[in-house]
Amino acid sequence: MIPTTFINYAADTLAETNDGLTGSRIAEFSAAYAIDFDVEIPYPEYPFPAELPNKRTALRENFKAFNPEQQFRIIKELCELPHFEENKGVKDLKIKLISRYGALGLGNEKEEVNESLIEETQHWLSEYPEALVLYNACLEKHSNGVHQRNLLDDLRLSLETLLKNTLENNKSLENQIAELGRYINERDGSKELKNMFLKLIDYFSKYQNTYVKHNDNVNNNEVEIMIEIASSFMKFIVRIK
């Protein structure tokens, strides 16, 4: 269920006075979704009745006519309209929608990622709930097509959190190389595997700093492999413990 407070927030953002949808567009989109879902809505036509305070109210009341899964899809798709491409408020709305209510979505992008690897990683992370929450947030956003920078932020934080817990320190990802090398040595990891693993961690960290942390220039074609690399990292770290 999406709370009324969030529905109100979504309507206020999408129908904002200056940069939001016009009244006629609100009626147009609302009516189209009503037809798609075979739902009766209170305000399918524009101009709206004189007693209606504003267009935000019309959108809010129309939202309420749909069930939670339908509300999720409608809000998400409205956020993705070209009209809002440069609208920070709408981008934040979409991120909050996916982060909090992504389970209502029917996204299929997660199917691109190696499902068995994902399930195994979730299993091994079950002893590290903080890292698991971040990992699942990354997958949820990927599944629902949320902005790639945000999901890769979650992925980095998940790996970083796991290393902090496993190595019992508070260092950032890029400063864990020496500690991680000792950790692998102490568990009889081969020199060649250790060196390869540390080099991959180093490059993973540099990739995040270059394209995610200090920029917003993620190549969509690289997201899947970044998720799978990080998943393999985390599974390995927990297993050798």
| pLDDT tens digits, 201-232 | 888 888 888 877 655 677 777 888 899 999 99
**Is 90 exceeded by the pLDDT of residue 98?**
no
- List, as one string, the DSSP characters of 21-80: --HHHHHHHHHHHHHHHT---S--SSSPPTTS--HHHHHHHHHHTS-HHHHHHHHHHHHT
Do residue 72 and residue 10 come from a single domain?
A: yes
Distance CA 60, CA 43 (A): 10
10: left (phi over 0), alpha (psi -120 to 50) or beta: alpha
**In a shared domain, residues 118 and 8:** no
Residue from 150, 24, 31, 14 nearest 90 by CA? 14
37: Cα separation from own chain's centroid:
26
Q: Is the pLDDT of residue 162 over 70?
A: yes
Question: What is the span of the domain harbouring residue 209?
Answer: 110-240
Q: How many domains does the chain have?
A: 2
Give the E-state strand segments of the chain in sequence order.
none
What percent of the chain shows pLDDT beyond 90?
A: 59
- Say whether both 68 and 131 belong to one domain: no
Q: Is a pLDDT exceeding 80 seen at residue 193? A: yes
